[in-house]
Amino acid sequence: MLSRFSGKTSCVIAKLASASPKKDPRHRLGAHYEDAALAYLRQNGLQLLTQNYRCRFGEIDLVMRHQKYLVFVEVRFRSRNRFAGASLTVDHRKQAKLVKTAAMFLSQHRRHADDTVRFDVLAFDRTDSASSTIQWIKDAFRP
């Protein structure tokens, strides 16, 4: 049934993809910290390959190269850490989604198939209204 409408749906999909969605404050805040993470990691010698890679399994904030590693980076931000800091919010379910998403990235980008993979977490914890601490956890977990 979809093939019968494939010409029209591709146009609709293209229009939806090109439309700029209104971002709510949380998305703007998330984009701000992803940009800050990217700048921080670049200062520390990583090279950006792609940002906000998405597939049916989820999203990876940053895909980068660091020395011999292909690094999948999850950026986290917490404004309050009453119970746990930002880095502790990457639980086993989130890790499993990241691993599946990374596997899809590797299947779509075969030139990286033999690269050594690493999963990093870059966590921002707000300390007061004007500043945040940064915690970079290299090799935060392994599949």
pLDDT per position as a tens digit, 28-71: 777 888 999 999 999 999 999 999 999 999 999 999 999 999 99
Per the model's pLDDT, the better-predicted residue between 49 and 89 turns out to be 49
Question: How far apart are alpha carbons 18 and 86 in whole angstroms?
Answer: 32
Q: Where are the domains of the chain?
A: 23-141
pLDDT-derived band at 10, boundaries 50, 70, 90: very low
* Mean pLDDT within 98-121: 95
- What is the C-alpha to C-alpha distance for residues 66 and 47, in angstroms, rounded to an integer? 7
**What residue spans of 44-91 are helical by DSSP H?**
none
| Statement: residue 17 has pLDDT above 80 | no
Asked whether the beta carbons of 105 and 119 are under 8 A apart, the reply is: no
Give the fold, CATH level 3, of 23-141: Trna Endonuclease; Chain: A, domain 1 (3.40.1350)
Say how far apart CA 66 and CA 82 lie, in whole Å: 33
Residue 88 — very low, low, confident or very high, per pLDDT cuts 50/70/90? low
- pLDDT of 22 > 70? The answer is no
Terminal CA-to-CA distance of the chain, rounded, Å? 39
In the structure, what pLDDT confidence band is assigned to residue 95 with cuts at 50, 70 and 90? very high
Is pLDDT of 118 > 60? yes
Which tokens is 18 given? Answer: 């090109």
Name the helix (H) or strand (E) containing 80.
none
